[in-house]
Amino acid sequence: MPLEQRPVGKLNRAVIFLGPPGSGKGTQAKMLAGKYGVPHLSTGDMLREHIAKGTPLGLKAKPIMDRGELVPDSVVLKMVAERIERPDCSHGFVFDGFPRTVTQAKYLGELLKRQGFQQPTVIHMVIGYLLLIRRLTGRRVCKKCGAIYNIYDRPPKVEGICDLDGDELYQRPDDREEVIKPRLHAYDKLTAPLVSYYRHLGLLYEVDASKSVAEVEQEICQAVASMLGAH
């Protein structure tokens, strides 16, 4: 493994990426998880895996996700509780797209306490909504490895093909313009209240997510490194 890809140290906590759809949570959560050698836990990816496999959970979630609404808390919480009990999560993990409601955040607090983790660190991806439409309609994802591209701003070298493994790129069904609106509405109504929830707990780091990927990455790495240094 090249030196720059080796994990830098122990995270020993949960890091949460909080922000609207398209703000860059997946892009940066993958980076941070790789840097610290911990799992990247995207509840959206987990649900899409259930859909692809045709499990009962997937069958239940699919129409809800296609409408751009949130899957019920009980479904997501069970899925997350099972996942973070696995041994690969013992040195921490990076959440992307979870928690998304105050109920989920409260339950996560209990789960972390029960597993001996300290309070999570929350990265708030701050961005104006005008940029999100371009990011979401332009997003393409590798079917095999989940690498994230953007046809406008971060295109693959060969159109429709993943740079990393040569597999096909696809457009998520909920990245169509008509589904983006309800998704942003769900964010405003149910997820945005988490900003003040975590701010009151003193756990929130604000990052300007409208900057370039490299600049956002730098801000996040500095915030996490300073937070780890402070503990």
- In terms of CB distance, is 75 or 213 closer to ligand ADP? 213
Restricting to residues 146-205, name those near ligand ADP by CB under 6 A.
Answer: 148-150, 153-154
**Residues 44 and 79 sit within 8 Å (Cβ to Cβ):** no
- Choosing from 40, 50, 140, 183, the residue that interacts with ligand AMP (CB under 6 A) is 183
- Choosing from 27, 28, 43, 121, the residue that interacts with ligand AMP (CB under 6 A) is 43
* Those residues with Cβ within 8 angstroms of residue 32's Cβ, 6 or more apart along the chain or in another chain: 15, 40, 94, 220, 221, 224
**Residues 138 and 151 sit within 8 Å (Cβ to Cβ):** yes
Work out how close the CB of 182 gets to ligand AMP at its nearest, in angstroms, rounded to a whole number: 9
* Those residues with Cβ within 8 angstroms of residue 105's Cβ, 6 or more apart along the chain or in another chain: 99, 194, 197, 198
Restricting to residues 24-43, name those near ligand ADP by CB under 6 A.
Answer: 24-27
Q: What is the DSSP letter of 154?
A: B
Q: What is the DSSP letter of 189?
A: I
H/E stretch holding 169 reads strand 169-170
Radius of gyration of the chain (CA): 17
Answer positive or negative: Cα dihedral of 52, 58, 63, 64: negative
Work out how close the CB of 25 gets to ligand ADP at its nearest, in angstroms, rounded to a whole number: 3
Any catalytic annotation for residue 154? Answer: no
Our finding on whether 19 is near ligand AMP (CB under 6 A) is: no
Using CB under 6 A as the binding criterion, the count of chain residues that bind ligand ADP stands at 20
Which of the residues 25, 35, 48, 135 is marked catalytic? 25
Which of the residues 48, 100, 135, 140 is marked catalytic? 100
Work out how close the CB of 175 gets to ligand ADP at its nearest, in angstroms, rounded to a whole number: 9
- In terms of CB distance, is 16 or 204 closer to ligand AMP? 16
| Other C-beta atoms lying within 10 Å of the C-beta of residue 203 | 15
Our finding on whether 21 is near ligand AMP (CB under 6 A) is: yes
Q: Which of 197, 207, 209, 203 is nearest to 227 (CA)?
A: 203
Work out how close the CB of 76 gets to ligand AMP at its nearest, in angstroms, rounded to a whole number: 4
Only segment of 36-44, 117-125, 158-166, 221-229 that touches ligand AMP (CB under 6 A): 36-44
| Residues noted as catalytic | 25, 100, 139, 172, 183
